[in-house]
Amino acid sequence: MPALVRLYIKTSLSFLLAGLLLGGYLIVTQHAIGRYPSRLLITAHVHILLVGFMLMIVMGVATWMFPKPPRDSRRYRPGLAVVVYWVMTVSTATRALAEVTAAFAASDGLRLVIVAGALGQIAGTALFVVNMWSRVRMPVVAVPPNR
């Protein structure tokens, strides 16, 4: 398994744990303490699980399993794949941390950080699609000899 794929999978599992911990906090806050949690905490929970866990594990497995690009292909760029990983990881973590923090301390600066994180997630996902597009094809298979 390539190093980038391992990074994607381990990072996605880390986001899964973070999302479950935040989800546990939300459940306890609402049902044991009786206080409805902030919408920002719910939004952070959803983004940690859907983008941080689900989307990033899909990106990692797709990077691993899709047919390798032809040797002469210039459309798929491995360096861009690494950039996408970092953009997605940093953007998702930044957005989630800003949303959690903003739930307890409102700030115009935090709102801008949330927007920056969201735009980073959009940009990272778009770059992933552009980079992977050429790998969505049938693999080249040698024709078996006639018997």
Gap between the Cα atoms of 83 and 124, Å rounded: 8
Residue 13 identity (one-letter amino acid):
L
Residue-wise pLDDT tens digits, 121-141: 999 999 999 998 887 876 666
CA atoms within 13 A on the CB side of 6: 3
Terminal-residue alpha carbon distance, the chain: 36
**Looking at residue 107, what DSSP letter applies?**
-
Q: What span, in angstroms and rounded, lies between the C-alpha atoms of 147 and 129? A: 42
As a whole number of angstroms, the distance between CA 67 and CA 44 comes to 34
Whole-number percent of the chain with pLDDT over 70 = 95
In tens, the pLDDT along 55-89 reads 999 999 999 988 777 777 777 888 899 999 999 99
Res 78: pLDDT = 81
Say whether pLDDT at 33 is over 80: yes
Output the average pLDDT for the chain.
Answer: 91
| Most distant pair of Cα atoms in the chain: their distance | 74
Residues in contact with 99: Cβ distance below 8 Å, sequence separation at least 6, in sequence order: 40, 41, 43, 44, 47, 114
More confident residue, 143 or 99: 99
Q: What is the mean pLDDT of residues 26-49?
A: 92
d(CA 79, CA 25): 38
Q: Look at residue 141 in the predicted model and tell me its pLDDT.
A: 67
Give the residue with greater pLDDT, 52 vs 34.
52
Which of 86-95, 116-125, 137-146 is least confident? 137-146
Residue (of 135, 138, 137, 126) closest to 55 by Cα position: 126
Rounded Cα gap, residues 57 and 6, in angstroms: 10
